[in-house]
A and B are shown apart, each in its own frame.
Chain A
Amino acid sequence: MRRLLLTLAGLAVVLLVLPILGLLQRMPWSSLPDLLADDVTLDALRVSLVVSLIAAMFVLVLGTPLAWALGRTDLPGRRIVRALVVLPMVLPPVVGGTALLFALGRRGLVGQWLDRWFGLTLPFTLSGAIVAATFVALPFYVIAVEGALRTARRELDDLEGIASTLGAPPFTVLRRITLPRLLPAMGAGLALAWARALGEFGATITFAGNLPGRTQTLPLATFLALQSEPERALALSLVMLVVALAVLLPMRDRWLPGR
């Protein structure tokens, strides 16, 4: 039994690592410095970092209260909202992007009023790319934090009750009791959400379009380069790989589950 499980586990590792090896094996190492230093790559890197980091910030600000509402209140309709919240994880991102277009596009449900009243249109803008990235990344954070809140619900109820009884004001309870117990889950959720935002492709190209320097993120640049200049696509993939590892590896012990 143990042997079978180990074999399957090994197969899983091969499946996950083999494509990366394939990528590295075809990497045009000699022309890499030139490919990495040119405007297309640097613009895409800058757009990707700006979009994914701002999206992560929105995820934190919007996702934390949502996780709290789902995990620690008894509001009616929680189950339905919970199902809706995970929807972007299941939907193909292209469908998500199309949905965003019909909601927030220039002739969209809400978008037409944004355009008419405020002259604000999201498609083809950096803000549009951030909206798309936030849309796909938010669920990863919310389910991580909500899960932690639900698991620790009784403990939190007890400790927070005691702290309040002892006269701690609500903010102190939050800072000294609740947040410290949630931090690992928040960190893990945020790392996953950020990684998802960084790798986001389908919703971005569908909703925000593709313009170098404005909405063209690394995945979009990679996809287009693949059509004409495979070497550039490989170089761009390497940039994504390095950025993702640089952020995820240091977090591995502190945030990601299973230390």
Chain B
Amino acid sequence: MLANPRAGAWLLAGALLLPAMACSDGPGGDDLTVFAASSLTDVLPELVEAYEAAAGTGVSLVFGGSNHLAAQLRDGAPADAFLTADARLVSTSVGAVRFGTNRVVLAVPAGNPARISSTASLADERLRVAVCAIDVPCGAATHALGLPVAADTEEPSVRAVASRLSLGEADVGVVYETDIRAVDGIDGVPGVDLPPSVVEYWAESLTADGDRFVSYLHSDAAIKILHDHGFDA
């Protein structure tokens, strides 16, 4: 096959070295690495920018489903702090702190084409209803509402529900209050209130550098940013 065995050896050496080189600039160094739940996608960059300016260190953000991130952390992924919407995933005994809350609300495509006007629409078989799967925090919060829901799809993340609505594939759905503000193409339904079902955000520090970031979340500046994005802090 290969005419020259030496060429084969070089090829092999190259193949083995390339991934090693690609890894060398991963998380680590002076930067802080923060693992965060995907529902924080819009607020965190702004928070981090403020923190970087105040603390003088860079922060790299890794977004994902809370449970995936927690599993990665268990398997030794390098992170300084972990921000999640699932209190069960952090060790609240050793310094994890609550830094904000969010709640689930009824959402419709922009302009409310199906003229949704009550929570009963969630149980309407003729409507397309999108909610989060119960396996993820927004799904657990939706389930905790105790309302009858005739779901047509149970999405793996709250942003997937938002996208079903913004694309007009679903007529009505349940998302976080903050998503109404952050996602184009979806509206809330004024005057229709769901029973209160609150999701708490927790931050766990994993290193000494992480401590500083986590305590920053309780600063006035951070609370203002969280408020601006619709979180209660």
Contacts and interface: CB of A to CB of B under 8 A. Distances in A.
Which bracket fits the contact residues of B? 20 to 34
A227 B134 CA distance: 10
B156 A205 contact: yes
Contact of B152 (A101, A209, A224): A209
Given A1-B5, A107-B167, A212 B65 contact: no
Contacts of A212: 154
Contact of A224 (B128, B135, B164): B135
B30 to A, nearest CB: 33
A5 B156 CA distance: 43
Contacts of A96: none
Interface in B67-95: 67-68, 71
B169 A105 contact: yes
Contacts, number: 69
Contacts of B152: 124, 209, 211
B54 interface: no
Interface residues of A, number: 26
Interface string B170-201: 00000000000000000000000000000000
Nearest to B152: A124
A68 interface: no
A226 B12 CA distance: 35
What 3 pairs between A and B have smallest CB-CB spacing? Answer: A209-B153, A228-B135, A124-B152
Given A105-B169, A124-B152, 9 more contacts: A1-B2, A105-B168, A121-B128, A205-B156, A209-B153, A210-B155, A212-B154, A226-B68, A227-B133
